[in-house]
Amino acid sequence: MKDLKFAVIGGGFMGKAHSIALATYPMYVWPTPYYPQRELIVEINDMLAAESGQRFGFNRAGTDWRQAVEDPEIDVIDVLVPNVLHYDVVMAAIEAGKHVICEKPLALDGDKARRMADAAEAAGIVNQVGFNWRLTPAIQLAKKLIDEGAIGEIRSVRSFWLGEFFNDPSVPLVWRFQKEQAGSGALGDIGSHAIDFSRFLAGEITEVQGVQQHFIKERPLPGGTGTGVVEVDDATAFMVRFESGATGYIESSWAAPGHKSDAGFEITGSTGSLSFTWERMSELRFYDGRDAADRQGYRTILVGPPHPYGEHFWPVPGYQISYSDTKVIQILDFIQAVSGEKAAPQTTFRDGLRSTLVEEAVMESARTGQWTKVARD
Amino acid sequence: MKDLKFAVIGGGFMGKAHSIALATYPMYVWPTPYYPQRELIVEINDMLAAESGQRFGFNRAGTDWRQAVEDPEIDVIDVLVPNVLHYDVVMAAIEAGKHVICEKPLALDGDKARRMADAAEAAGIVNQVGFNWRLTPAIQLAKKLIDEGAIGEIRSVRSFWLGEFFNDPSVPLVWRFQKEQAGSGALGDIGSHAIDFSRFLAGEITEVQGVQQHFIKERPLPGGTGTGVVEVDDATAFMVRFESGATGYIESSWAAPGHKSDAGFEITGSTGSLSFTWERMSELRFYDGRDAADRQGYRTILVGPPHPYGEHFWPVPGYQISYSDTKVIQILDFIQAVSGEKAAPQTTFRDGLRSTLVEEAVMESARTGQWTKVARD
Amino acid sequence: MKDLKFAVIGGGFMGKAHSIALATYPMYVWPTPYYPQRELIVEINDMLAAESGQRFGFNRAGTDWRQAVEDPEIDVIDVLVPNVLHYDVVMAAIEAGKHVICEKPLALDGDKARRMADAAEAAGIVNQVGFNWRLTPAIQLAKKLIDEGAIGEIRSVRSFWLGEFFNDPSVPLVWRFQKEQAGSGALGDIGSHAIDFSRFLAGEITEVQGVQQHFIKERPLPGGTGTGVVEVDDATAFMVRFESGATGYIESSWAAPGHKSDAGFEITGSTGSLSFTWERMSELRFYDGRDAADRQGYRTILVGPPHPYGEHFWPVPGYQISYSDTKVIQILDFIQAVSGEKAAPQTTFRDGLRSTLVEEAVMESARTGQWTKVARD
Amino acid sequence: MKDLKFAVIGGGFMGKAHSIALATYPMYVWPTPYYPQRELIVEINDMLAAESGQRFGFNRAGTDWRQAVEDPEIDVIDVLVPNVLHYDVVMAAIEAGKHVICEKPLALDGDKARRMADAAEAAGIVNQVGFNWRLTPAIQLAKKLIDEGAIGEIRSVRSFWLGEFFNDPSVPLVWRFQKEQAGSGALGDIGSHAIDFSRFLAGEITEVQGVQQHFIKERPLPGGTGTGVVEVDDATAFMVRFESGATGYIESSWAAPGHKSDAGFEITGSTGSLSFTWERMSELRFYDGRDAADRQGYRTILVGPPHPYGEHFWPVPGYQISYSDTKVIQILDFIQAVSGEKAAPQTTFRDGLRSTLVEEAVMESARTGQWTKVARD
């Protein structure tokens, strides 16, 4: 067992999630070819760096991501900074020959995302984008069932990430509401996950037709005086065509009352169906049309040991795993690529690029009112 | 209390449903200004007529709908024949000054439907199209809550009628699969209900963009030798824009495994949400964003006496009503218009026309790939 | 097809339910060996009799049940009067050689119930007690699955009938709250149904141990001045032992907020489980422990054509049936016994007796605090 | 912020859970008065000790719990060894003046448990028993709602811990199936949690009446040749009386097919109700009988930031927490007692004792068939 030394760039919400995952990874996954070390955390000033280092149990703390990238002790750069900074940090890390994890969205536009994916592949480093939602055991089980033919040929897909966390108009105008900083609103922030797990389950999306909505037009400035204009979508919904011929509809909204963390899908195939929502993260609903006629019905499967990644968590189905446990699976997936157990993680930079290209096509289609082809990656 | 004498034209599935409704109407709704009499049933031959008359408890049975239309004893013509015959029977009944109920779809195309609606209105007769699904107490409760502002302003609507009853490729090529006889497939057969209750709850639909799918291309001929081509859609899905600015997505499929009678909606407003499926016909799910922060959550409301039409059925919420009970409400709604208690039924021929116009726009948009405006009625 | 002429004694809630069932029976069940005629309805005075006759569509209306019992035209006496009168009407009807349906509870005590069952059997008439709840298709499906071994050997049973309809202390002190008139409270009124379907599914109950609760001690007198003492239980719960060795727990309450018509069960066997609540009357949940390890889960079966009695109702699973439709099944079950298609209805007077004997044992055990054997019928 | 140095005795399933909790506690709960240090882990041999130390991130590893107890560096002894060893380790730790956490059941019988509770209280050390299930945010929310009067006066409680993990007869005869080692079977192993959260929510249990079942009488010996007798219950169910006058029923089984980790309750009060199952750990169902008549219904509350302990986990309701996160709350509760923020943890040794006394009364009642009073603690 070798050490794998991580530098985590950013100590906010994602810093917390990744620190928990790095600390608990060997406790869940044992034995392991690599033991992830929380070597260095980078924050924007000394005080935050020191606090994050202590709280999250890092050996060292710093304030300069360039130093981290150049640090010969570091094996992995884990990029958890605001979206607008992803490109610079990631490209420098690739340049330095590090393995790289980057939170989604990989970049603010397809051009940058393509350059990042190309550079990472050319450098031969392990690259992973943070599409942890598709790594949820229930979603992995859905994939397994689809691959085994359990629902036949996929006919339609409805996917969604619906929340209400920005429905409150008193939430101030932070960077997420500014086009230059965020790229898009609900579409990129949460819709990107729905795009990713739709692609994962049903294959590539070739064409889209979308609508975007803006409900809360102005928000108070963070300082406290006056208001500013919200530049991004509160909700984006779009029809899709898959390469396979299946059709679909993908919804994202951060202003959908009643939906708290309602990310999921309903997939209808020729002989069965699957449905899932993160709000019941341990459940996959599966309908098998080949069950006997008098005992057909959606099965509520509680994930556990017999299911993907289940052997690492708790010994009883339904014992519950959490948001951060999907990050443990992300680390496992990454380490399996580092160790050579698999060729690449499940969610590479190229997946980040493809999601971005779908988002760009959606935004164009919403402007033009036309079905719009997704650009080739 | 006066008698209201019905001639029911057609003794199949719908004849059964309407007979049950007419027989049980006074048992549920009492007192009533009109007592519906099952006076005459019309079937295609003497044997079927006699059998239907006895089974469904009619005073008389016949084989000629023209005689029924001209019969001076008859007050109401209830048209339950195959779609292609609606126009002739209904126009004759209007001509004869009868009140008319017509099963949906009102007509095979918008032109005919418009002429039927115009003629009925010009004649001043009570006219009703059989959109009984929107009369379901839980849907009526949804409408009441929306009108009371319980979910704020409607932002998005997802409606659906998903079944699997024609997923079996051995179902023969009956008239429902032929364009000339049926007009369309899943779209008109079941999607029309979803269009109707979407309009009822969220207002007029102004623009659509749809896709249509054909899964089972050929079916055995009813005779038994060889197969014929299925000419209509197995599934149609479309995005919609409402007059109000809300957006939506409406799905219909009769080949969606796992979905048995999954007709319903999810409506998201600015302060709350509603959802419903016919598979749990007695339940309306309602989220009130104005509940206290620590006790917000979707409420599962079991319909009963405190809800629309509830006083007529059983004294306990959740005691369950059935498909035919929505037909009882349809008869009540019709009789209230006959008695002058209300100006018109909830579902007039004009509603039938509007649904048809939406369907026509959907089919055009699927051909052209363009957002398509719904024609004015 | 012969006529079967019914005299219905009592035109209240149950009169409505049985009239609906008699009127719709041939519409649902066709062909049928007997056509039930609503010949005579008996109410307590001329005005009510006339009104009931018209509303419920009877040929004749009267005020004297003795005349009905002696009327040679009448084939069946359907006894829907208050509990305290069951004995006299039923015994006279048996004496007159009529077939008899009697609402539950058959009698106020086991002695009378035994005499009624003995007399009916000695007379060789078809006798049925109104335990319609067990006739619900989902419960009949549960029985079928159990008999087929789908859950293995039954280990435990939890049954319940929980409502809140008498939780309101302003409900006046009607006969249901008086021991002499009603026998018991929630136990006999609704718990009896839970006892019946528990016996149906899991076999005879041999021993019980119960507790009874009284929440609302006084209620306003119906007249309007002063209050009177509630003499019966608001809630009764008891543990049971089945002949088979299985154990169980049966709850009944009419003062359980949140439970509207929550009648059902959870049955655990050695290889599977079943659960049901009337609040989702069309659903049976079934867990098959022999499903493959990675796709085990409770199935939500929507009852329809492939299930017991399903062919008589609607062609699509989940199309919903209602309270009165269970009464249609009750009439069908009765007619099958009259026609000789089966030896006896599913719910004979002896079932009424057995339920009463269980209730008596429960009340005794609540008094003594001891496990109490159920008397032999 | 001071260090709080833990010695964890036992590196199995519970060692994993506690290590994860100790590592992630400061990441979730920040700032914190004490920073828990994983100082020392004790296992039964050098190899296991070394492996556990590395995997779970401890500073030191050993094989002698007595050394740990006497180690002056250690502040807390965390006892996670098999049940039969609890007494010796805990008493020595108290003697040494350490704070002590002990997994449940505290002891194999009430006498020992009483001596442990008395000793801990006399020594004035912080003592906690591992009833983490009641610390689940949804259960803590239930308690808060009850205390606020949201369901009125509690009338009845149904609690349960139902699983199927030992339904497989090929599971070998480990110590859990032996009376001397385990004390009891399903009752103590999982029923104890249901007893604990029932007491927590509804107050002390004064009297019980139970039945015990044995389904799998023999199991293969762990060695591999022959079988041995299972000496403990597979299922125990019992009626209870609470001090408050409420009644209840508590079920525990480890051989209940379909139930995976089905631990929860249904509590009915005079004006509302609550229900919960661990299988949907993030949901509390709450019925408020004071909602307006036409919009009453069970609310499905997704726990999150507005709920107990919610501020420490993820920013969105329904983002899911896990089994080990309830152990984080347990550590928080413990540290709050160490720091003096609260007088004692929520689950002290006295709670362990009380649960044991209820279990003893249940076993006695099952033997005698009598209602049995729970001994005073």
Task: Give the closest residue to C166 by CA, choosing from C103, C261, C279, C256.
Answer: C256
Token digits for C146? 């159990």
DSSP secondary structure letter of residue D99: E
- For residue D352, how far is the Cα from the chain centroid? 9
Region C24-44 average pLDDT = 98
- Give D121's pLDDT tier (boundaries 50, 70, 90): very high
- Give D310's pLDDT tier (boundaries 50, 70, 90): very high
| Tokens 């259960």 found at | D139
> D-chain residues within 8 Å CB-CB of C156?
213, 235, 237, 251, 253, 256
Distance CA C263, CA A169 (A): 44
Distance CA D307, CA D292 (A): 24
Touching C: which chains, 3+ CB pairs < 8 A?
Answer: A, B, D
Residue D225 reports pLDDT greater than 90:
no
Task: Give the closest residue to A209 by CA, choosing from A236, A184, A239, A235.
Answer: A239
Instruction: Give the domains, in start order, of chain B with CATH numbers.
Output: 2-132 (3.40.50.720), 133-368 (3.30.360.10)
Helix (H, G, I), strand (E, B) or coil at D261: coil
Residue A224 reports pLDDT greater than 90:
no
CA atoms within 13 A on the CB side of C33: 12
Strands A127-129 and D205-213: unpaired
DSSP secondary structure letter of residue B370: B
Residue type for position C193: H
What is the CA angle B132-B339-B282, rounded to 5?
30
pLDDT of residue C356: 97
Nearest to A24 among D20, D280, D281 (CB): D20
CA distances in angstroms from C371 to A377, C363, C377, D211, listed in the order given: 75, 11, 19, 11
Token digits for A141? 């089980």
Token digits for C5? 């002429």
Distance CA B142, CA B144 (A): 5
What is the CA angle B43-B46-B48, rounded to 5?
50
A301–C contact, CB cutoff 8 A: yes
Is A19 in contact with A38 (CB distance < 8 Å)? yes
Q: What is the pLDDT of residues A287-303, one digit of tens each?
A: 999 999 999 999 999 99
Contact C24 B26 (CB under 8 A): no
Distance CA A258, CA B287 (A): 6
A27–D contact, CB cutoff 8 A: yes
Token digits for B310? 């509830």
> B-chain residues within 8 Å CB-CB of A291?
none
Q: Is the ipTM of this complex over 0.90?
A: yes
Distance CA C60, CA C81 (A): 18
Region C83-110 average pLDDT = 96
List the beta bridge partners of residue C129: C102
Q: What residues of chain D, 109 to 148, have a C-beta less than 8 Å from chain B?
A: 141, 144-145
pLDDT of residue C296: 97
Whether the link from the prior residue into D105 is cis, omega within 30° of 0, is yes
Is C158 in contact with C274 (CB distance < 8 Å)? no
Contacts of B297 (CB under 8 A, 6+ apart): B287, B291, D286, D299, D300, D301, D302
pTM over 0.90: yes
C226 burial (CB, 10 Å; 0-12 / 13-18 / 19+) is: exposed
C334 burial (CB, 10 Å; 0-12 / 13-18 / 19+) is: buried
Nearest to B297 among D144, D294, D299 (CB): D299
Residue C224 reports pLDDT greater than 80:
no
Is C296 in contact with C287 (CB distance < 8 Å)? yes
Region D321-348 average pLDDT = 97
Contact A299 C294 (CB under 8 A): no
Residue B44 is inside which H or E element, if any? none
Terminal-to-terminal C-alpha distance of chain A = 37
Q: How many helices (H) and strands (E) does chain D have?
A: 11, 17
A216–B contact, CB cutoff 8 A: no
Residue of C nearest to A145 (CA): C295
Select from B154, B155, B244, B373 the residue whose CB has the most chain A CBs within 10 Å, as the one to mutate to test that interface.
B155
Residue type for position D324: S
Q: CB B147: neighbour CB atoms within 10 A?
A: 9
Token digits for B282? 């007695």
Strands B235-242 and B205-213: antiparallel
pLDDT of residue B140: 98
Token digits for D229? 């007798």
Distance CA D314, CA B311 (A): 45
Distance CA D354, CA D360 (A): 10
Q: CB B341: neighbour CB atoms within 10 A?
A: 11
Region D349-355 average pLDDT = 98
- Secondary structure E strands in A123-246: 127-129, 154-162, 205-213, 218-220, 227-229, 235-242
3-class DSSP string for D181-239: HHCCCHHHHHHHHHHHHHHHHHCCEEEEEEEEECCCCEEECCCCCCEEECCCCCEEEEE
- Give A225's pLDDT tier (boundaries 50, 70, 90): confident
Contact A155 B235 (CB under 8 A): yes
Q: CB C244: neighbour CB atoms within 10 A?
A: 14
Distance CA A249, CA A157 (A): 7
| Tokens 């004071």 found at | D290
Dmax (CA) for chain C in angstroms is 67
Q: What is the dihedral of CA B69, B74, B80, B86, to 10 degrees?
A: 30
Strands A262-269 and A247-253: unpaired
> B-chain residues within 8 Å CB-CB of A257?
151-152, 268-273, 287, 289
D13–A contact, CB cutoff 8 A: yes
Contacts of C85 (CB under 8 A, 6+ apart): none
Is B342 in contact with B33 (CB distance < 8 Å)? no
On average, the pLDDT of chain C sits at 97
Q: What is the pLDDT of residues C146-194, one digit of tens each?
A: 999 999 999 999 999 999 999 999 999 999 999 998 889 999 999 999 9
Task: Give the closest residue to C199 by CA, choosing from C150, C267, C272, C152.
Answer: C267
Helix (H, G, I), strand (E, B) or coil at B156: strand
Residue type for position B149: G
Task: Give the closest residue to A340 by CA, choosing from A114, A99, A129.
Answer: A99
Q: What is the pLDDT of residues A254-286, one digit of tens each?
A: 999 999 999 999 999 999 999 999 999 999 999
Task: Give the closest residue to C206 by CA, choosing from C159, C239, C157, C252.
Answer: C239
Give the gap in angstroms from C-alpha D164 to the nearest C-alpha of chain A. 9
List the beta bridge partners of residue C38: C6
DSSP secondary structure letter of residue B310: G
Whether the link from the prior residue into C31 is cis, omega within 30° of 0, is yes
Contact D281 A30 (CB under 8 A): no
Residue of A nearest to B241 (CA): A211
Token digits for D5? 């140095």
pLDDT of residue B377: 87
What is the pLDDT tens value at each position of chain B, 377 positions in all? 899 999 999 999 999 999 999 999 999 999 999 999 999 999 999 999 999 999 999 999 999 999 999 999 999 999 999 999 999 999 999 999 999 999 999 998 999 999 999 999 999 999 999 999 999 999 999 999 999 999 999 999 999 999 999 999 999 999 999 999 888 999 999 999 999 999 999 999 999 999 999 999 999 999 878 999 999 999 999 999 999 999 999 999 999 999 999 999 999 999 999 999 999 999 999 999 999 999 999 999 999 999 999 999 999 999 999 999 999 999 999 999 999 999 999 999 999 999 999 999 999 999 999 999 999 98
Task: Give the closest residue to C299 by CA, choosing from C264, C262, C272.
Answer: C272
Side by side, the strands of the sheet bearing A76-79 are A60-62, A34-42, A2-9, A76-79, A99-102, A127-129
User: What is the Cα gyration radius of chain B?
Assistant: 21
Distance CA A98, CA B294 (A): 45
Distance CA D368, CA D5 (A): 48
Q: What is the DSSP string of C115-150?
A: HHHHHHHHHT--EEE--GGGGSHHHHHHHHHHHTTT
What is the percentage of chain A residues whose pLDDT exceeds 70?
Answer: 100
Region A185-204 average pLDDT = 97
- Give C140's pLDDT tier (boundaries 50, 70, 90): very high
Q: How many helices (H) and strands (E) does chain A have?
A: 11, 17
Token digits for C222? 């119906």
User: Phi and psi dihedrals of A107, rounded to 5?
Assistant: -150, 170
User: Phi and psi dihedrals of C222, rounded to 5?
Assistant: -55, -35
Residue B204 is inside which H or E element, if any? none
CA distances in angstroms from A19 to A53, A153, A281, A328, B114, listed in the order given: 10, 40, 22, 10, 66
Region C293-302 average pLDDT = 97
Select from B160, B322, B325, B328 the residue whose CB has the most chain C CBs within 10 Å, as the one to mutate to test that interface.
B322
